[in-house]
Amino acid sequence: MNKTQVKVFFSLFGDEFPLHKVTGKLELTPTKSYKKGDLIANRSKINRKETCWEIGTGYKDSLDVNDQLQQIVGNLQNKSIMINELKDAFSLECKFYIVIIIERGNSPSLFLDKDILKFASSIEAEFDVDIYANPYDETEE
């Protein structure tokens, strides 16, 4: 049986910057990174338009987005000064991405608590939410 899944990731991105410096300063290993000009996997001859460092949860069965958000924010919470220094040094932007795949009409809770919003505000991060609702057969219930 397919279950609703949620993926959350935080991204620092910009024109060109040394990825190893972000990893070193934040003392976190990215779950994904790429450089401007790299070829996009599975895309014929399309290059990346920016450099990106990100840390994320991967897809998890979940009916509460806050579970995945807390995992990511928990790794970054005490690093807002370092994130802002990196943003200033390399002209970076940052964003939280929330990706939801709804199965069988089971949509998860999407609640951003004040601690998450306060942290996001302290680093001037945006939120990007993508929701994919897969069709289901109501007669299966």
Q: Which band of pLDDT confidence, cut at 50, 70 and 90, is reported for residue 139?
A: low
Q: Quick check: 125 and 94 in contact, CB under 8 A? A: yes
pLDDT at 42 over 90: no
Q: Write down how long the chain is.
A: 141
> What angle is formed at CA 48 by the lines to CA 27 and CA 42, rounded to 5 degrees?
105
Domains contained in the chain, number? 1
How far from the centroid of its chain's Cα atoms is residue 17's Cα? 19
pTM over 0.95: no
Count of beta carbons in the 10 Å neighbourhood of residue 140: 7
Q: Using 50, 70 and 90 to split pLDDT, how confident is the model at 1? A: low
34's enclosing H/E stretch is: strand 32-34
Yes or no: say if 5 and 101 are a contact pair by the CB < 8 Å rule: yes
Q: Which amino acid is at 89?
A: A
- Helix or strand or coil: residue 9? strand
* pLDDT surpasses 60 at 123: yes
HSE-up (13 A, CA, CB side) for residue 93: 9
pLDDT at 136 over 80: no
Domain region containing 16: 5-140
Higher pLDDT, 136 or 81: 81
